[in-house]
Amino acid sequence: MALTVVDHPLAQHLLTQLRDVQTPPPVFRTIAKRLTIAVMLEAVRGLPAVEVDVQTPLERTTGRLIFPDIVAVPILRAGLGMLEAVAELFPEVSVGYIGLERDDVTLLPTSYYEKLPPVEGRHVLLLDPMLATGGSAAGACAKIEERHPAEIRFICVVAAPQGVDKLRREHPHVSIFTAALDRDLNDRGYILPGLGDFGDRLFGTGSDSGLPRSRPR
Ligand code: PRP
Ligand code: URA
């Protein structure tokens, strides 16, 4: 399984703003979209492309277009913060959704929604900004793999070593693209140094301190 860390200066510039606890949700959303585009620059490398003739205002030449048979699958909720970027880059993309919520105590994901277009033989871009324990990503990969895609590319913003190891063990054919490979997880399964709870920061549902809030029971 290939792991690509996109350490381009522009990606790191954007990631630093996302990490900053002072970044409010409206800015967080904009930066998350821009950073997704930066990670996508690497994540689409090697996707099938076709050579086409193109007429410029001056002469004919040839160019390359990425084969458009791509399925984007955001893992709800936080993956929604990456979808708009992908849909703008590939307006003809098919979109499926997988809803997973991680339990605060067991850290295991529970599935609450699934709507996937046909994925057999297609290239799946699985979108979730945070790869922490890897339970959510592995669960989503299992749901997609049983439908026989050509491949799955997992695109995230921050990954922890534990999540990378789990995907590597359980889904060795999935390639991972991330803007950062962080140090560790804390005892609540949050990535260190990380950026906190991505979904809360994206949708303005966190505490004012920017720290992850325990879900009400
Ligand atoms: C977050 C994140 C991932 C998951 C990562 O989602 O978006 O899906 O946690 O953790 P893991 O690698 O340990 O599974 P969360 O369950 O908090 O739901 P949300 O997107 O609705 O906030
Ligand atoms: N989910 C998040 O949103 N952030 C983390 O650090 C871990 C899981």
Position 67 scores a pLDDT of 75
Position 217 scores a pLDDT of 37
Paired residues of 161 in beta bridges: none
The full DSSP string for 126-193 is EE-SEESSSHHHHHHHHHHHTT--SEEEEE-SEE-HHHHHHHHHH-TT-EEEESEE-SEE-TTS-EES
Which phi and psi angles does 109 have, rounded to 5°? -80, 145
Please say if 102 is a catalytic residue: yes
pLDDT string in tens for the chain (217-residue length): 699 999 999 999 999 999 999 999 999 999 999 999 999 999 999 999 999 999 999 999 999 998 778 999 999 999 999 999 999 999 999 999 999 999 999 999 999 999 999 999 999 999 999 999 999 999 999 999 999 999 999 999 999 999 999 999 999 999 999 999 999 999 999 999 999 999 999 999 987 555 665 554 3
Paired residues of 15 in beta bridges: none
pTM of the model: 0.95
Please say if 197 is a catalytic residue: yes
Nearest CA to ligand 2 atom 3: 197
| Ligand 1 neighbourhood includes 74 CB (under 6 angstroms) | no
Q: Which ligand lies nearest the alpha carbon of 99? A: 1
Residue type, 47: L
Q: Which ligand lies nearest the alpha carbon of 138? A: 1
Position 206 scores a pLDDT of 83
Position 216 scores a pLDDT of 44
Position 125 scores a pLDDT of 98
Atom of ligand 1 nearest to the CA of 135: 14
Cα(119)–Cα(146) distance, rounded to whole angstroms?
Answer: 10
Position 159 scores a pLDDT of 98
What residues have CB less than 8 Å from 217, skipping those under 6 apart? none
Q: Is 128 exposed, middle or buried (0-12, 13-18, 19+ CB in 10 A)?
A: buried
| Ligand 2 neighbourhood includes 156 CB (under 6 angstroms) | no
